[in-house]
Structure 1
């Protein structure tokens, strides 16, 4: 009987730990699911940056930009000067990124306004 009580306690403790882990996972899910641009948008100090707008911008980015481009562009929220460095660069890769970024920006402005 004592062994059975110990195993029930162990099972109960395991269930409590599993439920706590599940609740933490559920609580963190929206942030974890957010893309790089949405996270950067939410963390920015811009007054217009609200969760709904940031989510919309991310959805447009998912269609208009590659994963690598989204990662690069997301960094521009914290350091806008890097966008200008890209815009003024002589690199053909940067020129392509800038063109795609402008198309993304136009699309986001129309879709998310």
Structure 2
């Protein structure tokens, strides 16, 4: 049951919510902080830290900041996902891949 709860949290936090370059090892803990501040029961320091480590490997600092905002403004995720801007489309592809990876790794 804990596995399912953690997997659901990872997917909710890291994957699309309706759903740019090289990774940044110095990205800090933007995603981790947003994860811990979320009001999801399964959010824990180890899980959120794992999600952050995946984010550090797959998303730039700028992308992490954008993704972290989805925790407090889920509608923004929909706006980005449905945007016609090429930059948003590229971000969304990386964000989906990040969510899938985090879901597989952070269980």
Aligned length: 80
Kindly report structure 1 stretches of 4+ aligned residues shifted beyond 4 Å.
none
Alignment of 1:50-61 (within 5 A): 50-61=44-55
Residues 30-45 of structure 1: pairs in structure 2 closer than 5 A: 35-45=29-39
SS at match of 1:47: coil
Structure 1, unmatched stretches of 5+, are 1-33
Which segments of 5 or more consecutive residues in structure 2 lack a partner in the other structure?
1-27
RMSD: 0.8
Measure, in 1, the Cα distance between the counterparts of 2:98 and 2:86.
18
Q: Which protein has the bigger helix share?
A: 1
Larger radius of gyration: 1
Could you tell me which residue of structure 1 aligns to residue 19 of structure 2? none
Alpha-carbon distance in structure 2 between the residues aligned to 1:96 and 1:46: 28
